Structure 1
Amino acid sequence: MKPLSTLHTLRTDSPLGPITLAASATGLCGLWFDDQKHGPTEDQRQPWRPDKDHPVLQSAAVHLQAFWAGQALPWSGPLDLSVGTAFQQSVWRALLRIPAGESQSYGELARQLDKPLAVRAVGAAVGRNPVSILVPCHRVLGAGGQLTGYAGGLLRKQALLKLEGHPIGQLTPALFSE
């Protein structure tokens, strides 16, 4: 993760654990579960400012509440994905085109980006997505449609898919109950 400047942050609860939201002057640039892989370190968080009145953070928190209530609408607020490389940003923007309740494989995503041999690089970029849930990396599955990799943990990935009505989310018990 590239260094992040001073950001505005908001902590919010979710059915899947506490979440930190972060916004830059450009838009929403972070959404991490507390124990998520590839999240910001404590040192990176030091200059960040809690700001419960920040309009982008308030909008994201309201959007998440609607999401938890089963209203999986695409995020329409401003995004700042500048922490990633140009390739990572292209992958993250492609994730925004996967509708709720649907999924793509890492290979399909690589082909969509005209990088059919870059499946592993696509997977790495998906795993480093700084705005989980709203940039829906949980909608990417393995080649055979199996549940694979999620920086927030596979149980959370399954719970998010279940909430969106994806069939794989229904296969085994998940954290999110109806």
Structure 2
Amino acid sequence: MSIQIRSYTADDYEELLNVQREAFPPPFPEELWWKKEQIEAHAEVYPQGAMVAVADGVIVGSATSLLVTFTGKPHTWAEAADNGYIRGSHDPDGDSLYGIDLCVRPAYRSRGVAAALYEARKRLVVRSGLKRFLAGCRIPGYCRYADRMSAERYVEGVVKGEFKDLVLSFMLKQGMKPIQVLDGYLEDEESLNKAVLVEWEPDN
């Protein structure tokens, strides 16, 4: 399957919404799907970070990123993403690309769409002379182990190959490395509201 990556605009909103509907069906709350005002903000504030994957003329996945100055300070998704609008959190002079969203139509999963979007993000980091790519990574498998270990121990186990995590294991395959566990990152029952900040650095 041939996959092309391009920037999205407000004109793509209906297709982007269809991707979200398919990727996050009920009981996922509809109010958390991208709003048109958010898509317009992404395309206006940092169009380079607003990406879609297109196959056979159809949008099959999307990814949104912004620029930040990395400090290592704990944060939530809402703080990093300005509640999805990015206007208040995007730093034009930032040293790091921060991914706040990635989704793929279920029918196109396991076909290289997400990997293509991650590769496009890495190319953007290199092209822009940034220090790193960052993302808050869900750990949905943690709920099965939370009664007997900390999130830090679980992440260590996933890195060592002791456990498989649907999201973190994929991130590791993309060359991302865990930096820190973030408490209260996002309302996420499976991850116990935790996430792992992961990082990819270009070769120096």
TM-score, normalization: structure 1?
Answer: 0.29
- The one of the two structures with greater contact order (alpha-carbon pairs below 8 A, sep at least 6) is 1
TM-score, normalization: structure 2?
Answer: 0.27
Give the structure with higher Rg (CA). Answer: 2
The structure carrying a bigger strand percent of its residues is 2
